[in-house]
Amino acid sequence: MSKVRVPKIVGADVELSNFILGVSSGQGTGKTASRMLLGEIDGIESGVSGAAEALDVGRKYLPTSGGCAYIDSDHLEIALPETFSAFDHVAHWRAMLNVARAAMRRVNARLPDGCRLQVLANCSDGLGNSYGSHLNVLLTRTAWDEIMSTKPHYLAFLAAFQISSIVFTGQGKVGSEREGAPADFQLSQRADFMKTLVHIDTMVTRGVINSRDEAHCGPRRGLVQPELARLHVIFFDSTLCQIATVLRVGTMQMIVAMLEAGEVEARLTLDDPLGALGTWSRGPMLAATADLVGGERRTAVELQLEFLEAAGRFADRGGFDGIVPRARELLVLWDNTLRQLEARAFDTLSRRLDWVAKYRLLSGMLDRRPDLDWNSPVVKQLDQLYASIDDDGPFWALERARQVEQLVTEADIDRAEREPPSDTRAWTRAHLLRLAGDDRVARVQWDRVHVRTLSPHSPYARTRAVHLPVPYEATRADNGRFFLEGASLESVVEGLQAADRLPAALGPALHGSWTLSNGGKQ
């Protein structure tokens, strides 16, 4: 572990399917539905226009959690605040779904009889269209360059991990799309839409590895730090089961941490990654195998077990210390889930993995209804409705019946809806937005907030920028002392800007820390 490493802060930007039932429109109802939803979400408009926001409509940052919501390609998109722990990510994912659900209810209360707005947390409409559930992971610029440019076995290692992870990250879907090979049921909703191994595009020529280089972070002035980057992961499905979600996030944190440290086992890479993806996705009995580069054949579960073993060895050497919170818990959960997959223990797995829960739900319907098959419209409809965020959605019925394992409590989710994570820059962003309010926020982006401050010496407001360049800084521990009860916006901004100007010798002591090559902290 001779390389500089940084905490594996994660974020997510997730598109939701939205449409209005009972309304006939030749161009569909997504545009109207998404705008009605966003109109019901309380937030502060970003104030950013031009190329930086060219694909976004109406982006609003939330003073409650520090996340945001906007419209992308006529889908409501919800972006989670940055979290350090995968378990916190689960709570904030559920909290943002609650925000979208509340907006949906308010819209439906105003719609005329016979019309209803529907929102689904899935990644495929079954008609050839896919929309993303993107995960973002912080890493050093050096590691990003190695994955994307200089060390092809790093990219192949990451791709093999992602592709084989569909055994626990897939939501499952009926049929195939986009000229994919026929299938009754697939583990992954995104498999048919991955066209190449790596690409910058997220909408047409999608790559298993996305090469978008958009960091949303940077070095703080006066502080010697590694240059930061963001791995933009577009491969995964949306997951509703809490264990599936924590594994999707936590295992990705661990794999990226291993890549960053140079802990890459090239023997685990696939000879034909896209071919393996199509084969494994179409094998819900988990028996299908694919070639590794060395000629051996593995099922997806077998390959995942080898990734798990490599991660366990890395953990034993302290590789995740300070980098991936609760890594030991994640490893135990990963191991237990893979062992159950290896044993085909689907009764138990239906409580923790979405694709298994959906497959059992649909298979049960087919057993009870011999007049139906996998091509029946009612089966395809239930496939879609599984991910409805409405209370009558099948997933929520399973959860209410205690047929889904829980990792976070309703109290955790409620707190995440009202409060930002305390251990990332989202804490300062949210509290600054609260203090400034809509009238005094000029612009907001992930790494900076521009506010209008007043002066007793001038009748004019002055726009001042608070920079938040480091996702694991600007935490409550760093900046809580500025947001005292009764503090003015002017005093808070002055304090934050003064702290940002601290000399390098004082910076780390007051502004968080970053992990050095020896795994210690400065």
Q: Catalytic site residues?
A: 72
Instruction: Return phi, psi of residue 272, to 5°.
Output: -135, 85
Strand, coil or helix: what is 472?
coil
Q: Do residues 278 and 180 lie in contact, with contact meaning Cβ atoms separated by under 8 Å?
A: yes
Query: What's the chain's Rg over C-alpha atoms?
Result: 23
Measure the CA–CA gap between 447 and 164, rounded to whole angstroms: 34
Measure the CA–CA gap between 295 and 298, rounded to whole angstroms: 10
Q: Do residues 10 and 29 lie in contact, with contact meaning Cβ atoms separated by under 8 Å?
A: no
Q: Do residues 100 and 16 lie in contact, with contact meaning Cβ atoms separated by under 8 Å?
A: yes
DSSP line for 54-76: TT-EEEEE-TTTS-EEEEETTEE
Measure the CA–CA gap between 522 and 506, rounded to whole angstroms: 11
DSSP H or E run through 238: none
DSSP line for 412-430: HHHHHHHS--TTSTHHHHH
Measure the CA–CA gap between 454 and 474, rounded to whole angstroms: 23
507: left (phi over 0), alpha (psi -120 to 50) or beta: alpha
Paired with 266 in beta bridges are none
Joined tokens for residue 217: 């972070």
Joined tokens for residue 290: 């694919």
Measure the CA–CA gap between 91 and 152, rounded to whole angstroms: 35
Neighbouring residues of 137: CB distance < 8 A, sequence distance ≥ 6: 8, 9, 10, 230, 231, 233, 252, 253, 256
Q: What angle do CA 485, 457, 496 make, to 5 degrees?
A: 40
Strand, coil or helix: what is 228?
strand
Q: Do residues 10 and 83 lie in contact, with contact meaning Cβ atoms separated by under 8 Å?
A: yes
393: left (phi over 0), alpha (psi -120 to 50) or beta: beta
